Amino acid sequence: MTTITTPRNRGDRPRAGRVLTYLLVIAIALAIAVPVAWVLLASLKQKSEFYGSPWTLPEGLHLQNYVDAFFTAHMGQYFFTSVLVTLLGLAFVLAVSVPAAYVIARYEFRGRAFIEVALLAGLFVNVNYIVVPIFLMLVGWDRALVDVLPGGFFIDNPGVLSLVYAATSIPFSIYLLTAYFRSIPTSYEEAAALDGASRFQIMTRVMLPIARPAVVTVILFNFLAYWNDFIIALTLLPGEGKTLQVGLLNLMTAQKAAADYGRLYAGMVIVIVPVLILYALIQRRLIAGMSSGGVKG
């Protein structure tokens, strides 16, 4: 017996430390998982179940909350707007950033250094600082065009919103893509040029497929940014056609007045679930991209 106790005694302190470590990590993980799981469960509760203990499980599947959120609170329609704006924004940002990043990485031209510095400085300009001037500018354009387009064109236009999204993520996207294009050996392009490929073909047929990991990273981060944004959407779509996040904000305000928790939680689930599914599918790539793209908070 003594032979066993000696090594155990020596291991006691680290073992106690290890248990503590586990407890701490588990506690923090629970602090994050429990509120999210609680919202998922609460979205199935009836109104009467929200009073009393918050820890009771839902008595049944009260799916009426979802019907209310989706139709009465228009979250279904907002969902569609969000999908549209996000996809359009991604299309815009890729269409302009990939060619620009490619020529910055591969061609010598006058003013290149200046453009690079300007774009780098753009990384430090957060959209929240400039959303007011953007709004005023668009209002000004609408006013200038009032004779041609009396209904206004730039405000309340999902297409314009996605263009603003794309524009404000250009510095980040070009930064990431340029770095990647530079790391690709030039022999691929030389070979393609010898085969008689045009510049455009070299870019789209040769370089773009090789740069796919960087393109995917750009898509991922911009998807999250566009899908999760509410400040720009709130400002540029003040009318009926809202995005999901702004719709959820309205539900929050409405809940404070009417104590209609079920509808709010159902609305939250509608917003959370697509992102969680995506995250579960691509988390490895997201985390790898995070450390290569530097910090983007």
Partner 1 sequence: MATTTSSPPSDTSAPARPAGRSARRRGDGRFVLACLLPALVLFVLFMVVPTVNVFRMSFYTWSGFSPDMRFVGFDNFTQLFEDAQFVRAFQNTVALLVVVTVVTMGMGLFLAAIMTRQRLRGRNFYRFVLYVPNVLSVVVIAAIFSAIYDQQNGLLNGTLRLLSLDGLQQVWLGDQDIVLWSVAIAMVWQSLGYYMVLYMSSMASIPEELYEASGLDGASPTRQFFSITLPLIWQNLRTTLTFFVMSAVNLSFVLVRAMTGGGPDGSSEVLLSYMYKQAYTNSSYGYGMAIGVVIFAFSFLVSLLVSRATRREPLQF
Nearer to partner 1, 33 or 87 (CB): 33
Nearer to partner 1, 61 or 137 (CB): 137
Residue 44 host element (H or E): none
| 55 interacts with partner 1 by CB under 8 A | yes
| 76 interacts with partner 1 by CB under 8 A | no
- 274 alpha-carbon distance from chain centroid: 11
Residue 128 CB, nearest approach to partner 1 (Å): 5
Terminal-to-terminal C-alpha distance of the chain: 56
* Out of 130, 197, 208, 254, the residue judged to bind partner 1 by CB under 8 A: 130
| 149 interacts with partner 1 by CB under 8 A | no
Nearer to partner 1, 26 or 87 (CB): 26
| 91 interacts with partner 1 by CB under 8 A | no
Q: Which stretch binds partner 1 (CB under 8 A): 3-11, 64-72, 134-142, 146-154?
A: 134-142
CA–CA separation, 61 vs 44, rounded Å?
5
Residues in the chain: 297
Binding mask 220-249 vs partner 1 (x if CB under 8 A, - otherwise)? ----x--xxxxx-------------xx-xx
Residue with tokens 């400040």: 231
| 268 interacts with partner 1 by CB under 8 A | yes
SS (H, E, C) 86-103: HHHHHHHHHHHHHHHHHH
* Out of 90, 104, 206, 237, the residue judged to bind partner 1 by CB under 8 A: 104
| 252 interacts with partner 1 by CB under 8 A | yes
Binders of partner 1 in range 173-202 (CB under 8 A): 174, 179-180, 183-187, 189-190, 193, 199-200
CA–CA separation, 212 vs 85, rounded Å?
23
Contacts of 173 (CB under 8 A, 6+ apart): 93, 94, 97, 101, 218, 222
Residue 296 host element (H or E): none
Cα angle, residue 141 at apex, residues 136 and 145 outer, rounded to 5°: 145
